[in-house]
Amino acid sequence: MPVVGYPANDQAARRVANRPVAETVALLRERAKSRFTPPVTGPRAPLTEVLVHEGDMRIPLGLPPEPGVSAVRIGLGFITAGRPVGFVPAAGYAGCGWSRPTWTGPGGRAPRSAAAVSTCS
């Protein structure tokens, strides 16, 4: 059977999931004010990651995955500008634009969250 995905990520997630809740909360509080940004991609990369995957957390809870307009603009700017890192080349977004609260493109209109997810697919 072929290996799918990244086993190191799976292993790390399982280790973190097995930590006591109090330890996880303490770690999050300890790092809450950290200004760390990933090398190469900078601070917009983790914001974009959260925007794209927030639906994974919100939808099962019955919450709509609708991030704020300004955050999505930053995330989509990161995905579509400059050197794409694992995303669709910027030329693929020609003719797209914003109209609150939706993304408008050649194929029609979509909620902000759908635009962010489909842009990274």
Count of residues in the chain? 121
Answer with the residue of higher pLDDT: 113 or 39: 39
Q: Whole-number mean pLDDT of the chain?
A: 73
Q: How many domains does the chain have?
A: 1
The edge-to-edge listing of strands for the beta sheet with 97-99 is 97-99, 102-105, 108-111
Strands 108-111 and 97-99: unpaired
Distances (CA, A) of 51 to 55, 59, 108, 117: 8, 13, 21, 8
* Segment 78-90, tens digit of pLDDT: 877 766 565 555 5
Q: According to the model, what pLDDT value does residue 2 have?
A: 46
pTM over 0.85: no
Residue 15, domain member (yes or no): yes
Residue 58, domain member (yes or no): yes
* Segment 9-35, tens digit of pLDDT: 778 888 988 999 999 999 999 999 998
Element (H, E) at 5: none
Answer with the residue of higher pLDDT: 25 or 114: 25
Q: 15 lies in which domain range? A: 7-119
Q: According to the model, what pLDDT value does residue 1 have?
A: 41
Residue 1, domain member (yes or no): no
